[in-house]
Amino acid sequence: MNEAQLQEIILKTITELVGQEGKTTAPSAGPKVDPGEVPDLSAVDYRKIIDVPNPANEEEYRLLRSQTVARLGVWRAGPRYRTNTFLRFRADHAVAMDAVFTDVPEQVLEDAGLFSVQTLCDSKDTYLTRPDLGRRFSDETVAELRKRCVLNPDVQIVVSDGLSSTSVSANVKDVLPAILQGLKASGVAVGTPFFIKYGRVGAMDAVTEALGSKVTVILLGERPGLATGESMSAYMTYGGYIGIPEANRTVVSNIHRGGTTPTEAGAFIAELCLRMLKEKASGLDLKV
């Protein structure tokens, strides 16, 4: 089999899969596409597809399948994955790689009203290989933060790319306003939100020491899996400091459209911030 024949088989498989959402088995022919165009396999909602031929209870299978992004009912070709299953795996892996190695678009930060600072990491490679540098800022950056931000706020919110820039692009426009609205409605003094490029969770502790915030929240792109590259988490501390035990952090995770929705998460994060201010605690010390 030559390369042209292999490409033809792959294109046909992807085309059929893109056209089969909601159907039990793949159709004999998919929609026509330009020979130079490959449909976006990662855009297919796998929860609507059952590849198992003649399932014993299709209704229950569909119900189970609709509630998880796990790879259920992918079937097989002998002892191997079927071609569409293998290609979807590779497509999801590519989404995860893009989430890690791309940068948050400047337009996203501008729309969210965030100015940007950078940790001691000078590149994505440094960020991945030197986690310690992703928790620290230069003296110049600390001075800039003190100049541009409100000092000693009740709550300081920061956003960081972390290990998924895609999550920031997908969620910040909804989760950040929800948090700010909830806090301001309760009369809480909120600091100046900003964005940290190449940031680790521990960067929030350096922010706390620099700005003197009581509660600090960092909205961070989480390590992408093969189910989504858009997952964000919120890490929160009361009275944080550099070197604070991880047990003193409160976390809201799986913030994305297929998990806890950004607006719902934002309201809950605001509520947690109010509890922290009231009880002067976070992490395991906070009773929720």
**Ramachandran category for residue 162: left, alpha or beta (phi over 0 → left; psi -120 to 50 → alpha):** left
What 3-state DSSP class applies to 237?
strand
pLDDT for 137 = 98
Q: Residue for token digits 């310690």?
A: 132
Between 3-18 and 83-101, two packed helices, what is the crossing angle to 10 degrees?
90
Say whether pLDDT at 13 is over 70. Answer: no
Find the range with the poorest average confidence among 64-68, 135-139, 244-248, 266-270: 64-68
Of 63 and 99, the structure prediction assigns the larger pLDDT to 63
The whole model's pTM is what?
Answer: 0.79
Measured between alpha carbons, how far apart are the two ends of the chain, in Å?
61
All domains of the chain in start order, with CATH: 3-101 (1.10.30.40), 106-285 (3.40.50.11240)
Q: Residue 48: which residues within 8 A CB-CB, separation 6 or more?
A: 21, 22, 65, 66
Contact indicator for 280, 191 with CB cutoff of 8 Å: no
**Quick one: average pLDDT of 177-189?**
95
Find the range with the poorest average confidence among 51-60, 139-148, 201-210, 238-247: 51-60
pLDDT for 37 = 64
Residue 241 has what DSSP assignment?
Answer: -
Say whether pLDDT at 16 is over 70. Answer: no
Q: If pLDDT is split at 50, 70 and 90, which confidence band does 27 have? A: very low
What 3-state DSSP class applies to 197?
strand
Of 84 and 180, the structure prediction assigns the larger pLDDT to 180
Say whether pLDDT at 227 is over 80. Answer: no
Contact indicator for 242, 113 with CB cutoff of 8 Å: no
Say whether pLDDT at 42 is over 70. Answer: no
**Quick one: average pLDDT of 152-157?**
98
Cα–Cα distance, 34 to 20 (Å, whole number) = 18
pLDDT for 261 = 94
% of the chain beyond a pLDDT of 90: 60
Of 30 and 177, the structure prediction assigns the larger pLDDT to 177
Say whether pLDDT at 91 is over 90. Answer: no
